[in-house]
């Protein structure tokens, strides 16, 4: 069976734990291509004590966000999904405007133009009117907006439970088997 191929982009919004957990869930079963923005790297260190080099593992290729001339920036490079987690509002705004000044923005632009799965996980609150317009523009262009808003209805008790709730939703949207959170049953 062929491994699915995903791009994981980490930008400068708080919520690095979501990216790390998603990475840890996908790294053994997928071909991963990871991009970490400069601010994303700062937050990985600030929030988790990690360096971007953490992602340099088996089945993983790590890219500099400044390196736009790379294979994953081309429509001829098929991927099963692109996830931007956490997604800063600056990155969301530039993608919504069609600006591709970085590799993360270009990969998102390519996902939209090629009608591929693009999952954007904003971690911001509250949303301004500008944020909402940019999120709506991305939704209308075909992206899936999956806010980092964990639910509490399944008895989550720890920070890890709350992170797993959001990551499970991302994995479900990528059509990846997950056992982090069982389906809701009333």
Q: Determine contact, residues 78/111, Cβ cutoff 8 Å.
A: no
Residue 186 pLDDT > 80: no
- Residue 1: per-residue pLDDT: 58
Q: Which domains does the chain have, with CATH numbers?
A: 4-173 (3.40.50.1950)
Helix (H) or strand (E) holding 121: strand 118-122
Question: Is the pTM value of this prediction over 0.85?
Answer: yes
Query: Both ends of the chain: CA-CA distance in Å?
Result: 35
Residue 20 pLDDT > 90: yes
pLDDT tens string 72-130: 999 999 999 999 999 999 999 999 999 999 999 999 999 999 999 999 999 999 999 99
Nearest Cα residue to 90 out of 125, 126, 45, 134: 134
Band the pLDDT of 153: cuts 50, 70, 90. confident
- Residue 175: per-residue pLDDT: 95
Between 152 and 131, residue with greater pLDDT: 131
- Residue 36: per-residue pLDDT: 98
- Residue 97: per-residue pLDDT: 98
- Residue 157: per-residue pLDDT: 82
pLDDT tens string 21-76: 999 999 999 999 999 999 999 999 999 999 999 999 988 999 999 999 999 999 99
- Residue 184: per-residue pLDDT: 74
The whole-angstrom separation of Cα 3 and Cα 32 is: 10
- Phi and psi for 82 in degrees, rounded to 5? -125, 130
The whole-angstrom separation of Cα 95 and Cα 66 is: 15
- Residue 37: per-residue pLDDT: 97
- Residue 41: per-residue pLDDT: 97
Band the pLDDT of 152: cuts 50, 70, 90. confident
């Amino acid at each position: 069976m062929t491994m699915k191929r995903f791009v994981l982009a980490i930008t400068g919004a708080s919520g690095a734990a979501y990216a790390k957990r998603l990475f840890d869930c996908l790294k053994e079963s997928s071909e991963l291509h990871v991009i970490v923005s400069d601010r994303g790297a700062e937050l990985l260190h600030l929030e988790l004590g990690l360096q971007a080099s953490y992602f340099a593992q088996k089945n993983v290729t790590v890219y500099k966000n400044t390196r736009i001339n790379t294979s994953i920036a081309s429509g001829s490079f098929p991927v099963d999904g692109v996830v931007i987690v956490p997604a800063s509002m600056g990155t969301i705004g530039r993608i919504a405007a069609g600006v591709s000044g970085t590799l993360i923005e270009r990969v998102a632009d390519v996902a939209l133009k090629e009608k591929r799965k693009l999952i954007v996980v904003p971690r911001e609150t509250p949303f301004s009117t500008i944020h909402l317009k940019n999120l709506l523009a991305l939704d209308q262009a075909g992206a899936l907006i999956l806010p980092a808003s964990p639910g509490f209805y399944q008895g989550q008790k720890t920070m890890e439970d709350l992170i797993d709730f959001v990551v499970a939703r991302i994995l479900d949207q990528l059509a990846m088997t997950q056992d982090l959170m069982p389906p809701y049953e009333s």
